[in-house]
Amino acid sequence: MALGKSGIPFRVRRQTWITRDDLKANRDWIYVYGDNVKREGRRGLAREMRGEPNAHAISVSWGPFDPFLPESVEDAKREIESELMALAERNPACVIWPMAGLVPEFMTMPDDAYQYLRLMARRTLGVTDPV
C-alpha cells in the first residue's frame, strides 16, 4: 500500500477493463489513464475517462500524435513526476491502475521517459510494472 498526503495508506488495484460506468459507480476511487499534455483526443481509455472528476491523467506524450522525443525527455520527466505527485495528493481511498498500463501499444516513448515513469509510479504509489 502507498501512503496518501495525510500519511494514511491507500490501495492500488489493477483492472483489466475500465468503463465510464466504473468511474460513475465508484466516485471515491481514482482511475488512472495515460494521456497527453494537451489533454486532447478520445482514443483508448481517454474515451472512457476524460472529463470524469475521479479520473486522473498521466501524460505519456505531448499531444495526440506528438510523442515525447529524446530531446524533450527532461521536460517529459517533469510532467510525469508532477502528475504522479498530484495523484498522491488527492489522497484517494483507492487508485485503479489499468492492467495494460499507461502507454498504449501504438505509441512509442523514449526509454529514459519510460523507465522514469516506471520508477516514479513505484516510488509514489507502489505500483509494480505500471507501464
Question: How sure is the predictor about 115, in pLDDT bands with cuts at 50, 70 and 90?
Answer: very high
Rounded CA separation 12/63 (Å)? 27
- Average pLDDT over the chain reads 89
Q: What is the mean pLDDT of residues 108-113?
A: 92
**If we measure between CA atoms, which residue out of 118, 105, 103 comes closest to residue 61?**
103
pTM of this structure:
0.88
The SS3 call for residue 11 is: strand
Q: What is the mean pLDDT of residues 26-48?
A: 93
Q: Which helix (H) or strand (E) holds 75?
A: helix 73-89
For residue 40, give Cα distances in angstroms to 36, 86, 89, 108: 7, 19, 24, 18
Q: What is the pLDDT of residues 5-18, one digit of tens each?
A: 555 567 899 999 99
